Amino acid sequence: MVLFNNKQNKDVTSKYKSDIAFSKAISKAFTQELKDLLLRRSKRLLPFDEIKEKLDLWYGKDIGLRSVSLDSIVGSQGRYRNFTRHFLPLDENLRNRWKQIDSAVESGRDLPPVELYKVCNAYFVKDGHHRVSVATAKKRSFIEAKVFEYNCDFSLDDKTDIEQIAILQTYQLFLKETGLKKTRNPDLHLTVLGGYPILMEHIQRHRFYLIKKGKNQVSIEEASMSWFDNIYSPMVTLITKNSIMGKFPHRTKTDFYIWISKYKNWLFQDVFVSDEVQSVIDSYSKKFSNPIRKALGKLKKFFGLVKY
């Protein structure tokens, strides 16, 4: 007596394989989460709606079908808590739908393209979370997607986390307040939260200096341009000529501007004196490129103690 025909046997086998595949994927997800917790790393998906609000994104343009690298998908609209940063499943309730997608892929059935939002060089899933997850579990490199693109002036990629989004949000507010985006289009990116209020203090102090020198009315925009042209830019030129930036490749010119200013206790700056600044930069470079200090810096970063 034949209990199952060949098609039924294949269906049972496919469901069994998909069940095992999901169990492996969710097990790997929890292992990654535990490892990230122990190493104090944030590897969760980014919430698109929050990113959209923080970066002031308003209009997404349909740019059609694209082949998108799975590594560049960093977030989700609405389901960012259900998957890891690499789109492995975290919720047992995802099992049935995940298995259906996996079985369909295994059987060779065509699936509709997923829908993604593109922000800079990063992507967020609008529709097709399970398809992305299954493709990731199968170690695929690309997925077909219908893409809606948002214009973005900032750097956003697969390494971006929530703290960096907060930095970008503060940067955007800083550019609006100072008007520097319109007048100078500067590159003032920072890697640590808390730096833009320090830059604003420098600009405010420079504004008071200009008023004291005889200008009755100095707007924050005028003070910002003067600070950028006469204080920041010359100092950054000297910083980039020094070898210290090559020893800390993950830091930016503006990071070094703030650190060197604080090292000299220049919370407020009025004028730029080239020889004096050069001396301070050389001293800072010699002191903080010491291997022991670099090791201490890495420990502070690991324990979340790195602050301006």
For 180-214, what is each residue's pLDDT tens digit? 988 888 899 998 888 999 999 999 999 998 998 87
Please indicate, yes or no, if residue 256 is contained in any of the structural domains: yes
Domain hosting 290: range is 162-302
pLDDT in the model for residue 239 = 86
pTM of the model: 0.72
Q: Are residues 197 and 146 in the same domain?
A: no
Q: Where is the domain boundary, 93, 121, 150?
A: 150
| Total count of domains within the chain | 2
Mean pLDDT score, 108-129: 94
Q: How confident is the model at residue 54 (pLDDT cuts 50, 70, 90)?
A: confident
Q: Are residues 132 and 96 in the same domain?
A: yes
Q: Are residues 187 and 146 in the same domain?
A: no
Q: Are residues 285 and 184 in the same domain?
A: yes
- Hey, which of 56-60, 106-110, 134-138 has the most confident mean pLDDT? 134-138
pLDDT above 90 as % of the chain: 45
Mean pLDDT score, 160-167: 84
The β-bridge partners of 14 are none
Q: Are residues 111 and 36 in the same domain?
A: yes
CA proximity to 239, closest of 292, 281, 209, 196: 281
Evaluate if residue 267 carries a pLDDT over 70. no
Burial (CB < 10 A; 0-12, 13-18, 19+), residue 25, is buried
Residues recorded for the chain? 308
Structure token pair of residue 248: 């800390």
Evaluate if residue 292 carries a pLDDT over 80. no
